[in-house]
Structure 1
Amino acid sequence: MKTGYKKEGMDVMKNISYVLLITLILSIIIVNFDSKEQKVIKYFPFDESKEFTETSTNLKLLTEMDEDSYKIQWDIYSQLTEPVYLRQDISLLFVDGKLKGILNQWKEEANALTQKTVVNGEDSSHYEAITFHHGEVHYPDDVIKSIQDMTYDELYVIDSPHAPLESFKEPVEKNEKEWEQTLDHAKNQTLNYYWNELMNYYDLSAKDFLEIPLVNLWKYKNNSFPTLTNEQTRQVIGQLWEGLYKNYVTGIPSHNDHEFKAINTYMPIILVDHKGEFIFVLFKDPSGQHHRLIQRIPDFS
């Protein structure tokens, strides 16, 4: 099935397969792809006879390394009742609005996938991870169907010289609520400036779109986009991840036949047309070049 996805000014992408671990100061950036990394996530009609029995994304503060750094554990898990032709999980970790890690695993004839890694962090920060869980099911006569789910987790880490290291997911105490407000304000101020600049560059008006930060896409697995039903939205989201994987997760193609890694770039903004005709995904590559992915929403009438 064609998804109607295209990349403006994009040349043919190159295959990449790597396990990358970069240490910058005290912050570890993780890009982890299987050695047989698959270049494409492909949307197929949903298989209503299959379902995930469990899916999860989890962020947890492990320990303080020294006075200036600490460790965060990042876990991904998904399971089906029985093996299917292809299983794949992709997880993106954002820290204060910047992409700091990618976990990607796929297996043939598998039902369960597990990924675990440890990230070094420093300073008070807001960690957010979103995961796309995917399965491809093959039947006789070349019939192919798919299943999908999304999970999310967040963690606030407070690293203050005036108090012990602490973390929380939902603020309870007064000081936690104050830290949540402080970190969210700083992150949102930066991201809103970044997204507004992108929208101005492409001459887009906020009133015409539903704006969804990439980490919030999981909220629409049970909610619908404008003019669409929940089932139609689920299809469009599956096609959206197909485009994100090809044009963002595995590398950002540029106009001069160079491919950038998305690591250390700010979070993309997803713009869903209120008329239900198309979706834009806006972001910049590390060189500052603007990128717009365009996804045509199928005519479901």
Structure 2
Amino acid sequence: MKKVWSHLKHVVSQDNDEDEDSKKDLVAGVSHSHSYGSTGNGETDSYVPYHEIADQESINCPTCKGTGRIPRGQEDQLVALIPYSDQRLRPRRTKLYVSIAVATCLLLCAITIFFLFPRSIFLDHAGLNSSLINFDPNTDTVNINITNILNITNNNFYSIRILSINVDMLHVNTVVGQVNKEVKMNINPVTTKQLYYMVPNVLTDNTTFKICTWSAIKVHNVLLHIQARITVSYLAHEEQVSLDTFEYIDCRSNTTVPRPVVSPPETAKNHFSFHEWQRKS
């Protein structure tokens, strides 16, 4: 900067020796030009008008995109100074664009979290579909093959997949029937589907045998405790959903006519009806 300042002082001293009339005409012709300023060693401030170097041999300023001129050969030493009030330093609507970008990112994050946040999967015992009952007087055994209906509700905004179902049937705190079965069933977002499952139960209690066979007893109901668990897969994650409920079975009748199938068509492949069990047996 000291070299630049010395050069500019030398230019000013040469111009002061020129004709005063020519200097006034030159000043009047460029009265609207901007001024370039520089400082020395910090003691005083001096300004050199642009018109005092405009008449010299010069080239376009490489740092100001042709909006000013500097002496040839000094393009590596001088830089263009932009006033603080220049509009190029204050892009229009900067705050607006930044605010829109931030708001858009926050909105996208909120939407993503809202739709991907895991929600509960509910199991509901919809009741008995059919039952097949037979007795063995030699061992006082009651065989009850039950087909139940299970409602599965997906409250998520993405599909889930049912992988398997495990059911334990208990009577008087004793496990009388079990089923472990793989189930490949997809449930669409915010949808409820029905799953049919069959459990063979063997009751060896003498009291239960009398309740089911004696005609003197008017009510022939057996209370069964159902503990069901299904394995669900979604978003590369597996979890188990459980159900704990009770069910009354009329064990006096030899057979119970299966109820009409009320499940949606897409669950027909998962319907384990009484007729299918009878054919397999």
TM-score (norm 1): 0.27
| Structure with the larger RCO, 1 or 2 (CA within 8 Å, 6+ apart) | 1
Structure holding more strand per residue: 1
Computing the radius of gyration from Cα coordinates, the structure with the larger value is 2
